[in-house]
């Protein structure tokens, strides 16, 4: 009688596994395939991957990204198969988080330059990174910064908050820095001539500007004659 002898190779089964980062709502979640294959006895390698997100969306990439559109539990399945046809499957449940609550208040909504504004962020306790953009090229990473606006215009303030899981949210507000106004009002003018025929001019003025005045040129013309100029220097406060 005849007999046949054949060698049969038993290939090891791959071990499917993966990790992920930033499981945040409406954000790119990065999945990383860390599956392994033991090739100690025979050469074999993983050549096929299939991802399923919530049993619907399928990807064959090794390290895909996926965006979850709702918070709560989501299932992710990874199937791997080797060149020799051996396969393994792993399923994990991922808890997708809502973005952190990010908000802030400001000490002023409008004002004249230089406008010093205190910003305060009562954001949720899990927020541990603060990135401010004050709209005029100024930035800060403090939770409650102070910023000085030297230019005029409308500025959009943006606060981006990041929580301990890497989830991000933002809040914006607008501030208006008014153009500087110079307005000196002459309340009264009086002239007098002393015993030596010197003319004395007295003027009561008020600063209705948006800035402190430190120098004023005063001109007085009498009966069409050439004018008299007097320069005043000092500190004239707003409304002073």
Which has more confidence, 208 or 145?
145
Residues in the chain, how many? 240
3 pLDDT exceeds 90?
Answer: no
Count the alpha carbons within 13 Å of 118 in the hemisphere toward its beta carbon.
Answer: 2
Q: In angstroms, rounded to a whole number, what is the distance separating the alpha carbons of residues 205 and 98?
A: 60
Among candidate residues 132, 137, 163, 165, the one with its CA nearest the CA of residue 149: 137
pLDDT score of 228:
74
Which of helix, strand or coil describes residue 164? coil
**Number of helices (H) and strands (E), helices first, in the chain?**
0, 19
Check if the beta carbon of residue 91 is closer than 8 Å to that of residue 79: no
Mean pLDDT, range 182-203, rounded to an integer: 81
In the block, which residue shows the tokens 């015993």? 195
pLDDT score of 200:
77
pLDDT score of 218:
79
From the centroid of its chain, how far is CA 214? 39
Across the chain, mean pLDDT equals: 88
| Interval 26-81: pLDDT, tens | 999 999 999 999 876 667 889 999 999 998 889 999 999 999 999 999 999 999 99
195 pLDDT exceeds 70?
Answer: yes
The rounded percent of the chain whose pLDDT value lies above 90 is 55
Confidence of residue 173 (pLDDT cuts 50, 70, 90): very high
Check if the beta carbon of residue 103 is closer than 8 Å to that of residue 171: yes
Mean pLDDT, range 166-173, rounded to an integer: 95
124 pLDDT exceeds 80?
Answer: no
Q: In angstroms, rounded to a whole number, what is the distance separating the alpha carbons of residues 71 and 224?
A: 83
Token pair for 102: 């990010």
Token pair for 101: 């609550």
Among candidate residues 127, 61, 134, 74, the one with its CA nearest the CA of residue 99: 127
């Amino acid at each position: 009688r005849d007999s046949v002898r054949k060698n049969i190779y038993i290939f090891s089964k791959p071990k499917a596994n993966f990790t992920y980062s930033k499981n945040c709502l409406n954000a790119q979640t990065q999945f990383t395939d860390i599956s392994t294959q033991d090739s100690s006895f025979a050469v074999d390698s993983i050549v096929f991957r299939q991802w399923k997100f919530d049993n619907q969306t399928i990807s064959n990439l090794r390290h895909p990204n996926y965006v979850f559109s709702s918070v709560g539990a989501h299932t992710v399945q990874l199937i791997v198969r080797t060149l020799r046809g051996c396969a393994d499957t792993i399923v994990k449940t991922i808890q997708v988080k809502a973005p952190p609550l990010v908000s802030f208040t400001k000490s002023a909504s409008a004002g004249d330059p230089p406008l010093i504004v205190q910003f305060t962020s009562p954001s949720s306790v899990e927020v541990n990174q603060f990135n401010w953009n004050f709209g005029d090229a100024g930035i800060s990473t403090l939770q409650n910064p102070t910023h000085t606006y030297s230019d005029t215009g409308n500025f959009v303030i943006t606060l981006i908050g990041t929580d301990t899981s890497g989830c991000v949210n933002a809040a914006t507000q607008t501030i208006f820095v008014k153009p500087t106004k110079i307005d000196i009002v002459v309340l009264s003018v009086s002239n007098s001539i002393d015993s030596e025929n010197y003319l004395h001019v007295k003027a009561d003025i008020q600063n209705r500007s948006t800035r402190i005045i430190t120098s004023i040129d005063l001109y007085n013309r009498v009966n069409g004659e050439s004018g008299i100029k007097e320069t005043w220097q000092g500190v004239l406060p707003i409304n002073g």
